[in-house]
């Protein structure tokens, strides 16, 4: 790209430079090249910063300048060695090298202060170069702009006049901009593919699959880190899929598979980008994810989406499906906020949903709620009631969901991703940031494991059963158990009936509600011979934590050691889990093991070379053997990469038998609300394609 000097040397006194908040003088040493030393990189720094306001010659001659701040003496320099406005260079780097040579001859240092890049191509278009000697001097180099007016005029002359041209200067500018943007987003998706391949090289257990259409355009992608795959064995019983978080500039829906680890905290089990929100798109993702993990989850929680519902029915028929209650309840302000008694409606709605003890009581309370507030015409509430078996907790009574129904879990994951991802994130940036998310999650789990190994937290009671959980459970899960031991003091047991070893009891728990004590009864069945207990509240069945009612029954019958069936390996801190020995495939340099392998290969090569270096014929044979081995290894690597892409391509249902190379993959069409693809190409587009070369295509807006 050609460039020219648009501002020559002018002095910037230190007092003025101090007012530049974006680049303080203390940062200067980072990019200074003293005594004519060449920079390490071929191109200047490309991060975009705000340009410091440049001073004109009137400021140079201000009364604040002394004689030591004058432009340096150029005696002994040729005219073409002195910077001046209007000088032209073929490349920006050549302009910088010219200034480095100049400053070396006049005796001071140079630094690239700021570089401004084009928004679409990310190519540098404007650069400020500073010199340091008794203050800062600045010169600006700017890339030449193509004169579209001259292009349009030349094309008009060729066509016999502007009236025969059929397009304007604005049309030409928009066309060029669209072509550059398309090229840029294609590079984006290809870089993402290269990232996947690099992760696969680092750890062969890294899994990825990419779905392409017949034209090699990106549709969807699934990728799972090696550590996540190993942890699925322990945490894959209950999985949450949240696809409501759009976090990339292409508008592709992003979904993460999330489980619950032995600390009761969220852990990531995979990630997917969807080309659209149709049933076929979700089916493809589910198939690839199950193919990666080997087995389908027992239970899955998703947002309220009909496409996901149908895809799970088709691909995961044996998996219990539940809608995330958080996504439903957070719509209440929007759906019911217009009612005059909204606060009362909100409280009653949540009370019915969360506190109904039986399915029949929920339905009765719902009918009463609708009648009392005259909500018969509210279609949203009517649809919710029709689908009540998909989201109301009472219809999942007695099923283990690892407390995944909790609204805090989904809300915290949204907040967690929000710290890393945003709507302007490119695809390659997205996968890098997701890599950071994995690293932080892994680090936090390791910190929790380390805390468990250092000691325990004190018991809240003198119960030997509490000490048993203290020694077995992780600290986070023991705190949940400890809460139940504290609540046990508010429970009273009374026997209702006995039949052989089985005792039917009623446990009343005193609860503080609105500054008043409320006694809530629970029915419990206890088998004295097997010490098996079951409570109406179903806390153990739903979250695998014994409730205070069962603990009080054990205490009443002098059971001082909890039966093994109620002390689960799921929450144990004493179990060694395979995934803790697996390194995540983070985008870093080779591991220590690879470094050892490299040193071993070097030692092997050295010993061979030492044996055959004295004979020219043997040396030539060794060189030929090495080159042959290099060619075989290169072909093997290429074959592995092509097989991976081919496997992903063949799973998309396409009839094409061609294998897509990375350079052939195109970016997805940007997904927007109310997206509409324009009609046939305008007549002047065929004329413009001859100007830039290549085929033209309409880009959905």
Task: Give how far the C-alpha of residue 35 lies from the chain's centroid of Cα atoms, to the nearest Å.
Answer: 44
Residue labelled with tokens 């292409």: 250
Model pLDDT for residues 113-147, shown as the tens digit of each residue: 677 766 545 566 677 776 665 555 566 666 555 55
Model pLDDT for residues 223-258, shown as the tens digit of each residue: 998 889 989 999 999 998 877 665 555 677 888 898
Closest CA to 582 of 73, 330, 224: 224
Indicate the pTM of the whole model. Answer: 0.61
Extract long-range pairs of 159-165: CB within 8 Å, 24+ residues apart. 165/684
Annotation: CATH topology of 183-323: Nucleotidyltransferase; domain 5 (3.30.420)
**pLDDT value of residue 669:** 59
443 φ/ψ angles, rounded to the nearest 5 degrees: -65, -40
Distances (CA, A) of 157 to 152, 176, 422: 9, 20, 47
671/275 Cα distance (integer angstroms)? 8
Which tokens belong to 211? 């779905």
Structural domain boundaries of the chain? 74-136, 183-323, 456-579
Return the number of other C-beta atoms located less than 10 Å from residue 391's C-beta. 20
Least confident of 27-36, 164-173, 363-372, 529-538: 27-36
Residue labelled with tokens 């446990």: 507
End-to-end CA, the chain: 30
Model pLDDT for residues 527-565, shown as the tens digit of each residue: 999 999 999 998 998 889 999 999 999 999 999 999 999
Q: Strand pairing partners for 526?
A: 503, 533
Beta-strand runs (E) in 482-584: 491-499, 502-513, 516-527, 532-535
In the sheet that holds 88-89, the strands lie side by side as 32-33, 109-117, 124-132, 136-143, 3-12, 88-89
The C-alpha angle with vertex 93 and arms to 92 and 98, in degrees rounded to 5, equals 100
Q: Mean of the pLDDT values across residues 201-210?
A: 87
Reported confidence tier of residue 66, pLDDT bands at 50, 70, 90? very low
Residue labelled with tokens 């009648």: 371
390 φ/ψ angles, rounded to the nearest 5 degrees: -100, -10
Model pLDDT for residues 384-397, shown as the tens digit of each residue: 999 999 999 999 98
DSSP state of 55: P
Q: Is the pLDDT of residue 630 over 80?
A: yes
Model pLDDT for residues 456-469, shown as the tens digit of each residue: 999 999 999 999 99
Closest CA to 652 of 46, 222, 114, 295: 222
191/665 Cα distance (integer angstroms)? 10
Model pLDDT for residues 304-358, shown as the tens digit of each residue: 888 999 999 999 999 999 998 888 988 999 999 888 889 999 999 999 999 898 9
Report yes or no: 629 and 191 within 8 Å, Cβ to Cβ.
no
Reported confidence tier of residue 509, pLDDT bands at 50, 70, 90? very high
**pLDDT value of residue 673:** 43
């Amino acid at each position: 790209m050609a460039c020219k000097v648009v501002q020559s040397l002018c002095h910037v006194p230190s007092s003025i430079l101090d007012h530049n908040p974006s680049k303080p003088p203390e940062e200067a040493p980072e990019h200074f090249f003293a005594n004519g030393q060449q920079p390490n990189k071929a191109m200047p720094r490309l991060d975009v910063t705000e340009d410091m306001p440049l001073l004109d010659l009137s400021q140079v001659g201000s009364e604040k300048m002394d004689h030591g701040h004058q432009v340096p003496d150029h005696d002994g320099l040729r005219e073409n060695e002195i910077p001046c406005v209007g000088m032209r260079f073929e490349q920006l780097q050549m302009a910088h090298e010219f200034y480095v040579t100049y400053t070396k001859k006049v005796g001071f240092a140079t630094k690239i202060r700021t570089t401004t890049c084009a928004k679409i191509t990310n190519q540098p278009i404007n650069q400020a170069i500073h010199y340091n000697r008794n203050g800062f001097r600045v010169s600006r180099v700017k890339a030449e702009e193509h004169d579209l007016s001259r292009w349009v005029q030349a094309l008009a002359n060729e066509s016999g006049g502007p009236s025969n041209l059929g397009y304007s200067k604005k049309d030409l500018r928009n066309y060029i901009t669209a072509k550059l943007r398309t090229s840029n987003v294609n590079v984006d998706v290809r870089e993402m593919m290269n990232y996947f391949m690099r992760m696969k090289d680092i750890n062969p257990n890294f899994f990825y699959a990419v779905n392409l259409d017949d034209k090699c355009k990106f549709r969807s992608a699934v990728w799972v880190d090696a550590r996540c795959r190993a942890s699925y064995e322990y945490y894959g019983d209950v999985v949450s899929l949240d696809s409501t978080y759009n976090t990339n500039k292409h508008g592709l829906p992003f979904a993460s598979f999330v489980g619950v680890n032995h600390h009761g905290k969220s852990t990531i089990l995979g990630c997917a980008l969807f080309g659209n929100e149709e049933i076929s798109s979700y089916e493809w993702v589910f198939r690839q994810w199950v193919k990666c993990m080997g087995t389908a989850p027992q239970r899955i929680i998703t947002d309220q989406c009909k496409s996901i519902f149908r895809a799970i029915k088709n691909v995961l028929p044996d998996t219990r499906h539940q809608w995330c209650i958080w996504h439903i309840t957070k719509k209440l302000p929007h759906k019911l906020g217009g009612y005059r008694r909204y606060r009362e409606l909100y409280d009653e709605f949540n009370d019915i949903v969360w506190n109904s003890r039986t399915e029949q009581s929920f339905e009765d309370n719902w009918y009463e709620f609708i009648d009392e507030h005259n909500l018969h015409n509210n279609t949203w509430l009517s649809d919710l009631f029709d689908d009540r078996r998909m989201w109301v907790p009472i219809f999942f009574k007695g099923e283990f969901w690892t407390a995944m129904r909790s609204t805090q879990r989904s809300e915290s994951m949204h907040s967690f991703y929000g710290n890393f991802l945003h709507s302007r994130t490119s695809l390659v940036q997205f996968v890098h940031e997701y890599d950071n998310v994995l690293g932080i999650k892994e680090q936090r789990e390791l910190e929790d494991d380390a805390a468990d190994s250092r000691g325990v937290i004190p018991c809240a009671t003198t119960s030997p059963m509490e000490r048993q959980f203290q020694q077995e459970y992780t600290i986070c899960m023991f705190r949940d158990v400890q809460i139940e031991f504290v609540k046990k003091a508010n429970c009273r047991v009374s026997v209702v009936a006995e039949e052989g070893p089985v005792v039917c009891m009623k446990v009343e728990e005193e609860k503080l509600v609105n500054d008043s004590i409320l006694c809530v009864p629970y029915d419990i069945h206890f088998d004295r011979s097997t010490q098996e207990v079951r409570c109406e509240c179903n806390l153990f069945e739903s979250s695998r934590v014994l409730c205070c009612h069962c603990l009080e029954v054990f205490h009443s019958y002098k059971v001082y050691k909890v039966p093994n069936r109620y002390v689960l390996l799921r929450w144990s801190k004493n179990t060694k889990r395979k995934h803790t020995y697996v390194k995540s495939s983070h985008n870093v340099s080779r591991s220590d093991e690879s470094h050892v392998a490299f040193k071993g290969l070097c030692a092997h090569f050295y010993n061979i070379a030492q044996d055959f270096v004295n004979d020219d014929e043997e040396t030539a044979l060794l060189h030929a053997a090495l080159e042959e081995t290099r060619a075989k290894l290169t072909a093997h690597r290429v074959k592995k990469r092509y097989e991976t892409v081919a496997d992903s391509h063949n799973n998309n249902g396409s009839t094409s038998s061609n294998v897509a190379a990375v350079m052939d993959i195109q970016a997805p069409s940007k997904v927007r609300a109310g997206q509409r693809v324009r009609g046939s190409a305008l007549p002047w587009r065929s004329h413009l394609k001859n100007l830039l070369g290549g085929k033209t295509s309409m880009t959905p807006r």
